[in-house]
Amino acid sequence: MDIKQAKQEIKNSVLAYLSKDERGEYKLPMIHQRPILMMGPPGIGKTQIMEQIAEECEIGLVSYTITHHTRQSAVGLPMIKEEIFDGQKFTVTEYTMSEIIASVYNCMRDKGQREGILFIDEINCVSETLMPAMLQFLQCKTFGNQAVPQGWIIVAAGNPPEYNKSVRDFDIVTLDRVRYLKLEANYEIWRNYAIKKHVHGSIISYLELHPNHFYHIERNIDGLQFVTARGWEDLSILLQSYETLKLPITQDVINEYIRCQEIAEEYFAYWELYKKYEDDYCIPDVLMGEVPPEIYGRLIQAELDERISVVNLLLDQLEQEFSISRKEKVHTDQWYEQLKASQGTMKEEDFEREKAEFVKQTKRLQSVVAATGEKVERAFDFLEAAFGKGQELLVFVTRLTMGEDSVLFLASRPCERYLRYSEEFLTGKAKGMLLKELNE
């Protein structure tokens, strides 16, 4: 199961577990609401999908990485309490409320969310002293003597033993009380996420050419070598920050995130080429319609990785334009709502002055949108002239279709060629043939 399928499965479970009858009672009693246990490689997005599910279902989320906790913080501290049995007084050991259970109640109190998800990560990597508490948690939905409140769904995650030496196996009694989801890394799913998150174009472009380098773990004479989705995303954030600050990016910087020497060296060499292509092909000039004739001649002779890099460089530049357009649109819409709300409450001369400024903003928005639309058309002009209807155009149209800002822009300002090519490429046999050719 990939991370997208896991998200949908958990979301479906939330809807089922929290559905109520006409009396307001949960249709599925809590005793039958099995905790969900996700087991999969590290860094593929388990925590991110929990945040997305909570937001989309409009419920609370309390998230813990259990390896950061001791038995006392998870179960509670012992305390002495007096009890009377058969007329005799006894001292009995009880426990204070678990920090984790208390956090659920804090969320309910502070955010007013009576229902939610209690997410425990790395659940099978705890110490030997804490493991019994984790088994009790999954079996009985309790920490110490405190139960998880009704309306809160338990989701836990862990890593298989091949990724972590310290993991502990669950017994059959526990596994028979959970819903077990086995996750695998999937580049195609992550690529869609990466485009929406504006992951650095060189990373997307490199992984398009080397999808087997997206997730990689091995042991050799140099020790553990690994590359994860988290590593690529965190590297992207650093690269974008370094480039903005004009700081040098070295092989050592890449090695800090891509922990497989061979892949790190290969990506760094590609990154240097990617930046060189950006200069060589004068991408901003291409989007202004200023393309030297020798550019087309070079592309005809270029290898696939160079051609795909140029396409992705065009997309990087356009994504910046789409983002600017979206921000201008949001700003204009907010201004309009404020202006409408203030009508009748402001002095007439003040309102007319504000209205005049708003008209200037709408014209600014129209200008930005028109300029961006022209750049999209010039990008199509360039790609058609350079590649015809080849796989490069498929990559371009596919990525336009997956970007949030690009989709919003093209929905508000339709592009005839985008609509035509997306219908032609992204349906039926044509898509399959082009994708096969691209992956060969």
pLDDT in tens, 281-304: 888 888 998 888 888 888 888 888
Q: Read off the tokens for 26.
A: 């949960």
The pLDDT of residue 330 is 93
Residue 440 has pLDDT above 60, yes or no: no
Highest mean pLDDT among 59-68, 183-192, 216-225, 361-370: 361-370
The whole-angstrom separation of Cα 274 and Cα 208 is 13
Q: Between 98 and 148, whose confidence is greater?
A: 148
The pLDDT of residue 375 is 94
The whole-angstrom separation of Cα 289 and Cα 276 is 20
CB-CB contact of 107 with 99 (8 Å):
no
Confidence band of 54 (pLDDT split at 50, 70, 90): very high
The pLDDT of residue 117 is 92
CA max distance for the chain: 101
The pLDDT of residue 47 is 85
Q: Is 382 helix (H, G, I), strand (E, B) or coil?
A: helix
Residue of 134, 104, 132 whose CA lies nearest to 121: 134
Residues of the chain with pLDDT > 70: what percent? 91
Helix 293-301 to helix 304-342 angle (10° resolution) is 120
The pLDDT of residue 434 is 44
The pLDDT of residue 329 is 93
* Kind plus residue range of the DSSP H or E element containing 239: helix 229-245
The pLDDT of residue 31 is 82
Confidence band of 57 (pLDDT split at 50, 70, 90): very high
The pLDDT of residue 68 is 64
Confidence band of 164 (pLDDT split at 50, 70, 90): low
Q: Is 291 helix (H, G, I), strand (E, B) or coil?
A: coil
In this predicted structure, which of 89-93, 392-396, 421-425 has the lowest mean pLDDT?
89-93
Residue 435 has pLDDT above 60, yes or no: no
- Looking at residue 126, its amino acid is V
Mean pLDDT of 398-411: 88
In this predicted structure, which of 82-91, 248-257, 355-364 has the lowest mean pLDDT?
82-91
Residue 67 has pLDDT above 80, yes or no: no
The pLDDT of residue 438 is 43
Residue 332 has pLDDT above 90, yes or no: yes
Q: Read off the tokens for 110.
A: 């502070």
213-241 pLDDT, tens digit per residue, is 998 888 777 778 889 888 999 999 999 99
The pLDDT of residue 324 is 92
CB-CB contact of 203 with 270 (8 Å):
no
Single pTM value for the model: 0.72
Mean pLDDT of 327-344: 90
- Looking at residue 210, its amino acid is H
Q: DSSP string spanning 46-95?
A: HHHHHHHHHHHHT-EEEEEEGGG--HHHHH--EEEEEEEETTEEEEEEEE
**Tokens 């690009």 identify what position?**
406
Residue 367 DSSP label: H
- E-state strands within 183-272: 216-220, 223-227
Average of per-residue pLDDT values in the chain: 85
Highest mean pLDDT among 176-180, 292-296, 366-370: 366-370
Q: Between 356 and 76, whose confidence is greater?
A: 356
CA end-to-end span of the chain: 25
Q: Is 180 helix (H, G, I), strand (E, B) or coil?
A: strand
The pLDDT of residue 429 is 46
Confidence band of 78 (pLDDT split at 50, 70, 90): low
Residue of 168, 62, 95, 84 whose CA lies nearest to 125: 168
Mean pLDDT of 10-25: 90
The pLDDT of residue 186 is 87
Mean pLDDT of 181-209: 87
Confidence band of 166 (pLDDT split at 50, 70, 90): low
Residue 242 has pLDDT above 90, yes or no: yes
Radius of gyration of the chain (CA): 28
Q: Quote helix, strand, coil % in the chain, to nearest 5.
A: 60, 15, 25
The pLDDT of residue 246 is 92
The whole-angstrom separation of Cα 55 and Cα 305 is 38
Residue 437 has pLDDT above 60, yes or no: no
Residue 392 has pLDDT above 60, yes or no: yes
The pLDDT of residue 367 is 95
23-42 pLDDT, tens digit per residue, is 888 888 888 888 899 988 87
